[in-house]
Structure formats: structure tokens, C-alpha cells
């Protein structure tokens, strides 16, 4: 009996050790490590070639190339900046796009209601790639330091006494260190440690003792050719001359260090010139030069064997086929009072639009449901419409008798509005911040842009007055790329220029590669990975404790263990899944399909398709 008891105690102790080990594994790792996260905004995987990007081409072959990497939907910079910074989906971190309508959230906060400038700015959809605007949102009378629903990886590094530098494009850089401007006596506005840091974006810098010097040396933003190439080179120089020496001091003291360098390109040049044009290819070369200088600096500072360097993009890219003005079309059909009315607010985000309903105009659930169904019916009937997502999931009821509506528990991904998917199906549903509808525009993944990009090609826009011919403002095409998309953008964008935001393959699949002592060499990762997996993996390599936020929320991504030198080679079974929503409209059946992959409890959004066919036709 005693031996049996002793055996049971030993088994229980072993099980507890196994259970607790993962919680302490990261803490026990060597802390004298640097992680450099270099973001090439809008980089497509098929843009990386030995000719155009020799440094990146070499890096992805020396280390790990993630061949099934994913952006989060909507495929927009701020949504994916938040995902990269926190390891969490928009449902957790709370940022779902570039242009957001904050008033439904801020109107619940008395301090914001009394702030007239805030009412003026955030009472309409607002473009979030602005550090001052984000600082205002994070102020005590607004979101009070909780712009994001969970702390960022940079804040976790600071919390454990490390060094952080967030450098580059305004907007996403702030998501990594969104309380740097509140630091006083070594602590931020939430009382968290914040001492050894550097922040520099297009519109602000810190800490105060170096801010003026950094901003005074900032080159002007370019307005032609390869846009913001000088800015990208300047931020790379800040990383080389300031951040890398500071990171070296940290690691020599046994502290972790994180450098985030966010480049404007190739995104901004692809937007204005088009994918596959001379300026876009030159933008890739400029980024590659910055990468080469960065790697040389790590080597000359003796940090190459203690630094993991990851290059990732926030999203993929496609070519605009047709410019769509959804708000104007809703006005022309009587579904919105006027372009400036707030009964139905359309936050245009390029490849996806976020739609918010006013509680004052639609006072009960029945009225809200009715207007949303009308909007969905209108949009789904159009050739330019992709899958649509509604805030609430469809009610689930037990199968009933004759005349009773049936909802099966096997389809919880359906939205409450017929023909839609639930926002939760793709990690979008946030109880406080989610829009009522998300209309994704259609991407044709296999069509290339050879008849779209270039000033001699025809260009079209559609709005309240129907379809019109407009000038094509894109540059001449030199290398065709697949993937064309309909998009809701302003008049400065035309057919042939670049865009993203939709739920198509070319935008959902982005680039990621890493090289360094903690990662395998010469390995191609065929397992699905995503931007949400980046932060958990950085935490593992830097030896940080798990990041648990307010209310117990945690990153939703996974550690990319199969890519680590000491990681598990088999992270689990990969499964595929399709989700289908159907809608019948005047003799036409609209069939929307989401193509998903899952691994280790994580879901990855691969692609979407929409088919319209006459009722009664064969499948």
C-alpha cells in the first residue's frame, strides 16, 4: 500500500511538473537576446526574388521561410499592426481597420463627450494612421491607456526590464508602444515599468531628451517616384545608429531587447503606382538595401549570433479593378439618408467597408435587423461584393416541427443576417467595438493586372450615379501580378493602382521569414502560420513570461515551434474547412464560401469565393 501511494505521488508530481513546465520554460531561457522585427508594409511573397531583393532572398534561404503565412482579416495595416504587436485577433485587441468610427465607443465615456475637439474628430470615420490621433484616443478621458485590449510585445519587454525601439511608419509603430508618451519617472500611465526605450515615427518621437533632434533630422515625405524612400532609409539609420548599440548594452547586461522597424514601402508606392510597376520594384530594392545595412550593423556590433531577425509584411496586395463608392450607392437606393448622415455610417477601408448603425435611428432589434438585411440584399447582388459579415451570430435553436425556423448547432459561423457570416467566424467580434456589418469586396485571385495597370488602360468607378469612365492614374506595368480586387477608395485611387483589405488569397497571404540562432537553418515551414503567431514566438525566444491582459485575455496566436531549433517538429494535424452562407435574391442564389485551415487550436483564413447563379441550376 505504501509503495502504491508513493508511486501515485510520484506520478502526480511528474504530471504537475509537465503541466507547469511550459509556464516556466520561457523564463528559464537565456535573456541576453535581441529580436529585430522588420516590417515591409504590403510585401507580397511573390515579390521576393534574387534580382529585386537579393538580401531578403538570401535571408529566407539561410533561415526559415514561412510558405503558408497569413494576414488577419480585414487585410489592413492597423488591424495587422495590432495583431503583430499583441499576438491577438481584432476580437481581443479591438482594432479592426484603418478607418474606424469611434463614436459608439466614446459616447459611453462622459469625458469624451465633453471634449469638443474629440467629438469633432471621432464623430465621423477617421483614418487611424496618425500618432496624435491615437494618442488622443488613448488619453485618460477616452480609452485611458487601453487602446488595445491586451499589452503589446514591446510593453512586455519593458515590463521585464528590457530595451525596446519602435521606429518607422506612423500609426502601426504606436501600436507596439502605445503608452510611451505617458512615461513619467520610469512608469507609464497604467503604472507599468517603462524606462529604456526609443520611439520615432513620421509625426512624433521620444523620449523627450532626443525627440527634437530626431524630428529635426527627419527628411521630408516624398510626393513622387518611390514614395517615402528617404523616410524608410532614415528610420533604418536610427535603428543602426541608436537602437542597435542600445540593444547591445541591454543584452550584455542579460536583458532582452526588441527593435521594431516598420517601413512604408512597398505599400505606399504600390498603392499609388500599381503592383509590378517600375516605382514599385524600385521600392522593393530600397527596402532591401535597408535590410542589408541592418544586417551589416548587427554583425559589426557583434550581435549576429545573439539576434533573431524576422522580416514580415502586414498584408498582401492586389490591383484595383473598379472603384466602388458604397456610401453613395446606399444613399441612391434610400438605405442611407445622405452622404454625411450618421443613421448608416460607412467607414471605407479599401477592400472592406465597416458599417455602423445609429441607435437613435433604429431603436429596436427589429428595425436594425430590417435595415441590415436590406443592405446585405443590395450589396450581395452586385458583382463587386465579396463575403459579408454581421456582428451577431445566427440564433441557435433546436430542430422544431412544421413552421418552426431551424438553426443547427453545426453552423455557428452563420451571421444573424441571412447571407452573412458571423464576425466571430474570422476573429472579428468585439462586444464593445465591432461594427454592425463588414462588407468585403471581391478579389479575383487568378486574374492578373496586365489589362488594368498602366495609364493607357481604361479605368472605371461606380457610385450613386452608376458606372463612369475615369482617368487611369497608375504607372506603366513591367511585371504582371495576379490578384485584382474591387475597392471602396477615394477619387485619388483608380483602376490599375494597388489596394488591400479584402478577404482574397492575394491579400490574406503575406510574407514572413526569419534568421537567427533560435531558428532552424534552410527550413521551409509548410505549416500554417499568421501575424498573430509572431508575438508568442518572440516571447518564447526572448524568455518572457506569458502576456495576460485585463480580464484574463491572452494572445490568440501560437508559438511557431516547428521553426525553432529546440521546438517541436510536429505542432499538430492540419485540417481544412469550408463555411458557406447562402442568400436567394429575385431568382438568383448567392453562395459565399470561406476557406479555412486550422492547426493547434488556431484558425487561419485562406481565401473566400462568391458565386451567383440562377435558382434551380446544377451545383
Residue range 443-466, pLDDT digits in tens: 999 999 999 999 999 999 999 999
Residue range 350-368, pLDDT digits in tens: 999 999 999 999 999 999 9
Identify the H or E element spanning 530.
strand 529-530
Backbone φ, ψ for residue 433 (5° rounding): -115, -10
- Write down the residue that cell numbers 492614374 correspond to: 473
CATH number at residue 600: 2.20.25
Q: What share of the chain is helix, strand, coil (3-state, %, to 5)?
A: 35, 25, 40
Portion of the chain with pLDDT greater than 70, in percent: 92
Total domain count for the chain?
Answer: 5
> Residue 557: pLDDT above 80?
yes
Q: For position 19, what pLDDT does the model report?
A: 36
Same domain flag for 164 and 279: yes
pLDDT, the chain, mean: 91
- Residue 384 lies inside a defined structural domain of this protein: yes
Minimum mean pLDDT range among 74-88, 211-225, 590-604: 211-225
Same domain flag for 492 and 513: no
Same domain flag for 299 and 325: no
d(CA 492, CA 497): 10
Backbone φ, ψ for residue 32 (5° rounding): -80, 65
Residue range 166-225, pLDDT digits in tens: 999 999 999 999 999 999 999 999 999 999 999 999 999 999 999 999 999 999 987 667
Q: Where does 301-360 have alpha helices with state H?
A: 326-332
Q: For position 614, what pLDDT does the model report?
A: 87
Closest CA to 124 of 383, 133, 132: 133
Same domain flag for 53 and 162: yes
CATH number at residue 296: 3.40.720.10
d(CA 516, CA 614): 55
Same domain flag for 240 and 292: yes
Name the 3-class secondary structure at 149: coil
CB 309 within 8 A of CB 58: no
- Residue 398 lies inside a defined structural domain of this protein: yes
- What is the number of residues in the chain? 619
C-alpha cell at 391: 456582428
Same domain flag for 123 and 134: yes
- The whole domain housing 7 covers 1-30
Q: Which residues are bridge partners to 53 per DSSP?
A: none
Q: For position 409, what pLDDT does the model report?
A: 44
Q: C-alpha distances in angstroms, 466 versus 110, 321, 323, 461?
A: 43, 16, 11, 8
- Residue 129 lies inside a defined structural domain of this protein: yes
β-strands 466-470, 437-441 pairing: unpaired
Q: Where does 253-301 have alpha helices with state H?
A: 267-273, 278-300
HEC string for 467-483: EEEECCCCCCECCCCEE
Q: Which residues are bridge partners to 468 per DSSP?
A: 461
> Residue 23: pLDDT above 60?
no
- Residue 569 lies inside a defined structural domain of this protein: no
> Residue 410: pLDDT above 90?
no
Same domain flag for 192 and 278: yes
Q: Which residues are bridge partners to 206 per DSSP?
A: 199
Name the 3-class secondary structure at 544: coil
Amino acid at each position: 500500500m505504501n509503495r502504491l501511494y508513493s508511486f501515485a505521488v510520484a506520478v502526480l508530481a511528474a504530471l504537475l511538473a509537465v503541466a507547469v513546465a511550459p509556464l516556466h520554460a520561457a523564463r528559464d531561457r537565456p535573456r541576453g537576446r535581441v529580436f529585430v522585427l522588420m516590417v515591409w508594409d504590403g510585401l507580397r511573397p511573390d515579390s521576393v526574388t534574387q534580382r529585386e531583393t537579393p538580401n531578403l532572398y538570401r535571408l529566407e534561404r539561410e533561415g526559415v521561410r514561412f510558405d503558408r503565412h497569413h494576414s488577419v482579416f480585414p487585410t489592413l495595416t492597423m488591424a495587422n499592426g495590432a495583431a503583430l504587436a499583441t499576438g491577438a485577433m481584432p476580437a481581443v485587441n479591438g482594432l479592426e481597420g484603418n478607418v474606424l468610427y469611434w463614436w459608439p465607443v466614446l459616447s459611453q465615456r462622459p469625458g469624451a463627450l465633453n471634449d469638443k475637439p474629440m467629438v469633432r474628430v471621432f464623430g465621423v470615420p477617421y483614418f487611424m494612421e496618425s500618432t496624435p490621433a491615437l494618442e488622443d484616443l488613448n488619453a485618460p478621458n477616452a480609452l485611458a491607456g487601453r487602446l488595445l485590449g491586451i499589452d503589446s510585445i514591446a510593453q512586455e519587454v519593458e515590463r521585464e526590464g528590457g530595451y525596446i525601439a519602435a521606429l518607422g511608419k506612423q500609426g502601426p509603430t504606436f501600436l507596439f508602444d502605445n503608452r510611451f508618451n505617458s512615461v513619467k519617472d520610469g512608469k507609464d500611465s497604467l503604472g507599468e515599468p517603462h524606462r529604456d526605450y526609443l520611439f520615432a515615427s513620421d509625426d512624433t518621437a521620444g523620449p523627450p531628451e532626443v525627440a527634437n533632434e530626431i524630428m529635426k533630422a527627419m527628411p521630408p515625405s516624398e510626393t513622387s517616384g518611390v514614395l517615402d524612400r528617404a523616410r524608410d532609409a532614415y528610420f533604418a539609420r536610427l535603428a543602426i545608429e541608436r537602437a542597435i548599440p542600445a540593444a547591445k548594452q541591454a543584452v550584455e547586461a542579460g536583458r532582452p531587447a526588441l527593435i521594431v522597424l516598420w517601413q512604408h514601402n512597398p505599400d505606399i508606392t504600390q498603392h499609388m503606382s500599381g503592383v509590378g510597376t517600375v516605382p514599385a520594384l524600385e521600392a522593393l530594392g530600397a527596402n532591401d538595401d535597408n535590410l542589408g545595412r541592418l544586417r551589416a550593423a548587427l554583425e559589426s556590433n557583434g550581435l549576429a549570433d545573439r539576434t533573431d531577425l524576422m522580416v514580415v509584411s502586414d498584408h498582401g496586395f492586389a490591383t484595383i479593378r473598379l472603384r466602388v463608392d458604397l456610401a453613395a450607392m446606399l444613399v441612391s437606393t434610400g438605405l442611407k439618408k445622405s452622404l454625411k448622415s450618421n443613421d448608416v455610417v460607412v467607414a471605407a477601408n479599401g477592400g472592406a467597408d465597416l458599417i455602423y448603425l445609429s441607435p437613435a435611428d433604429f431603436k429596436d432589434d427589429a428595425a436594425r435587423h430590417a435595415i441590415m438585411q436590406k443592405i446585405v440584399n443590395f450589396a450581395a447582388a452586385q458583382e463587386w461584393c465579396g463575403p459579408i459579415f454581421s456582428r451577431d451570430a445566427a440564433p441557435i435553436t433546436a430542430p422544431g416541427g412544421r413552421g418552426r425556423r431551424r438553426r443547427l448547432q453545426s453552423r455557428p459561423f452563420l451571421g444573424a443576417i441571412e447571407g452573412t457570416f458571423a464576425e466571430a467566424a474570422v476573429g472579428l467580434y468585439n462586444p464593445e467595438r465591432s461594427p454592425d456589418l463588414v462588407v468585403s469586396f471581391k478579389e479575383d485571385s487568378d486574374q492578373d493586372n496586365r489589362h488594368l495597370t498602366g495609364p493607357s488602360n481604361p479605368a472605371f468607378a461606380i457610385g450613386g450615379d452608376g458606372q463612369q469612365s475615369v482617368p487611369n492614374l497608375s504607372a506603366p506595368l513591367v511585371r504582371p501580378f495576379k490578384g485584382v480586387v474591387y475597392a471602396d477608395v477615394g477619387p485619388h485611387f483608380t483602376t490599375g493602382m494597388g489596394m488591400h483589405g479584402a478577404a482574397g488569397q492575394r491579400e490574406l497571404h503575406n510574407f514572413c521569414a526569419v534568421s537567427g540562432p533560435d531558428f532552424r537553418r534552410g527550413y521551409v515551414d509548410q505549416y500554417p502560420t499568421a501575424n498573430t503567431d509572431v508575438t508568442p514566438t518572440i516571447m518564447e525566444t526572448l524568455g518572457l513570461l506569458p502576456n495576460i491582459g485585463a480580464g484574463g485575455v491572452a494572445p490568440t496566436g501560437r508559438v511557431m515551434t516547428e521553426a525553432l531549433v529546440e521546438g517541436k517538429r510536429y505542432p499538430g494535424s492540419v485540417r481544412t474547412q469550408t463555411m458557406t452562407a447562402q442568400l436567394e435574391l429575385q431568382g438568383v442564389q448567392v453562395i459565399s464560401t470561406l476557406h479555412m485551415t486550422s492547426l493547434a487550436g488556431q484558425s487561419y483564413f485562406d481565401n473566400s469565393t462568391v458565386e451567383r447563379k440562377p435558382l434551380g441550376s446544377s451545383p
